[in-house]
Amino acid sequence: MEFGDKGSVCVTGGTGFIASWMIKLLLEQGYSVHTTIRPDPENRRDISFLTTLAGANEKLRIFRADLSDPDSFDAGIEGFKKVVYTSSSAAVWYYSGRQDVDVMMDESFWTDIDFLRETKPYGTSYAISKTSTERAALEFAAQHGLDLVTIVPPLVVGPFVCPKLPGSVHCSLAPILLGSQNPDVSMDHHQNQQVLISYLVNASMVHVDDLSRAHIFLLEHPTARGRYICSSHTITLENILQILSTKYPEFSIPKAESFADFEAAKLPGLSSRRLLDTGLKFNYGVEDMYDGAIKCCKEKKKAFSSKIFTI
C-alpha cells in the first residue's frame, strides 16, 4: 500500500473506538496524523494497536495531553483551524415529546436538559454532558469565527482497532451476551445485558467505517458547517434478533417473544438527509455491522483470552 500526502490532521482521544478507526482510515488515505492520548508517565499502556497501523511509522505522531490541562493540547493541534466535533444522539433524543416515535428527528432537535433532570432516565448525566458540550462548541464557533462541524452519531457498530470491547459494540451484542450459557457469567451480567437491550428496541445505527468516512468527508468539504446527523439505519429489536439467529445459529439468541412484555421506550428514528444531500453515501448495512463486530470479537478473544469477549 502506498501513502500519498494529503496534509495533516489531529485526532484527539486516539485510543478510543471511533478515533482509532479514523486514524487507520486517515493514514490509508494519505494523511499525516497527530493524535492525543492521556498521559502515561510509567509507559504501562500498550498503544501498539496504533503504532503498528499501516503507515504509522512515517505519518503518525502521538502527543500526550490531559483534559485538566487545556494547554497540553497545543502541540498536537497547532496549525489546525477547522474542527469536526463528535457529538452523540444523546444530544438529540431526550425531549418532552419523544414518545412520538413516528417522528424522524433531524438536526433541529435538541435534548431538553430540564426534561432530563426531571425524569432522570438511564444515562442522564451522559446525555446532559453531550448536549451541553455540543451547544457550547457551536456557540464558541459562532462567537469566534471558528470553522466547526458537529457530527451526531447513534449506536456505532462494526469492527474495532482498539483492544477493548467498545461500549456501543457491547450494547449491540447484548442479545448474544444475554443468551450466553457461560457458567462464569453472573446474574449482574444478565441484568446489564437487559438494560443494554432496551436501546435496541428501535435502534438507530451506523457502521464505524461510514461514521469515520463522514468525519473525513465533512473535514474536506469546503462549505460544510454546523450540525450533521450520521445514522444509516433504524431497526427494531425483532429484526436484530432475526438477523442474529439466522446468521449465527451457534449462539443462543433469545426469541422475540421473550421480550413481549419488555418495558423500554421506543426512540424515534434519526434523519441523515442533510448529510446525504451534502454528498456522502453509506456503504454498510446492519448485517455488515454485526459481521464486522462479531468477527473482531472472535479474533480478539484468541489474542487476549479475555472474558469480556464471551462470543
Task: Answer for the pair 193, 252: CB distance below 8 angstroms, yes or no.
Answer: no
Q: Are strands 32-37 and 233-236 parallel, antiparallel or unpaired?
A: unpaired
How many whole angstroms separate alpha carbon 261 and alpha carbon 232? 28
Q: Would you say residue 104 has pLDDT above 90?
A: no
Strand partners, 228: 151
Residues 6+ apart with CB under 8 A from 47: 15, 37, 62
User: What DSSP letter does each residue of 40-88 carry, written as one string?
Assistant: -TT--S--HHHHTSTTHHHHEEEEE-BTTBGGGGHHHHTT---EEEE--
Contact (Cβ atoms closer than 8 angstroms) between residue 226 and residue 150: yes
Model confidence over 35-62: pLDDT tens digits?
999 988 777 888 999 999 999 999 999 9
Residue 304 has pLDDT above 60, yes or no: no
| pTM of the predicted structure, to 2 decimals | 0.91
pLDDT of 306 higher than 60: no
Tell me whether residue 66 is in a domain: no
Does residue 289 form part of some domain? yes
Cell numbers given for 270: 434519526
Domain span at residue 204? 81-304
The mean per-residue pLDDT over the stretch 13-41 comes to: 95
Calculate Rg over the CA atoms of the chain: 20
pLDDT on residue 225: 94
Residue from 157, 155, 109, 116 nearest 135 by CA = 109
DSSP 8-state symbol, 155:
E
Q: Is the model's pLDDT at 184 over the cut of 50?
A: no
Q: Is residue 61 domain-resident? A: no
pLDDT per position as a tens digit, 214-225: 999 999 999 999
**Angle 30-52-21 from CA coordinates, rounded to 5°:** 60
CATH of the domain at 173: 3.40.50.720
Banded model confidence at residue 302, pLDDT cuts 50, 70, 90 = low
Mean pLDDT score of the chain: 87
- Whether residue 30 lies inside any domain: the answer is no
Does residue 70 fall inside a structural domain? Answer: no
**Domain contains 241:** yes
Beta strands 32-37; 60-64: pairing state: parallel
112-169 pLDDT, tens digit per residue, is 999 889 888 778 899 999 999 999 999 999 999 999 999 999 999 999 999 889 999 9
Residue 158 lies in a domain: yes
Number of domains in the chain: 1
Residue 59 covered by a domain: no
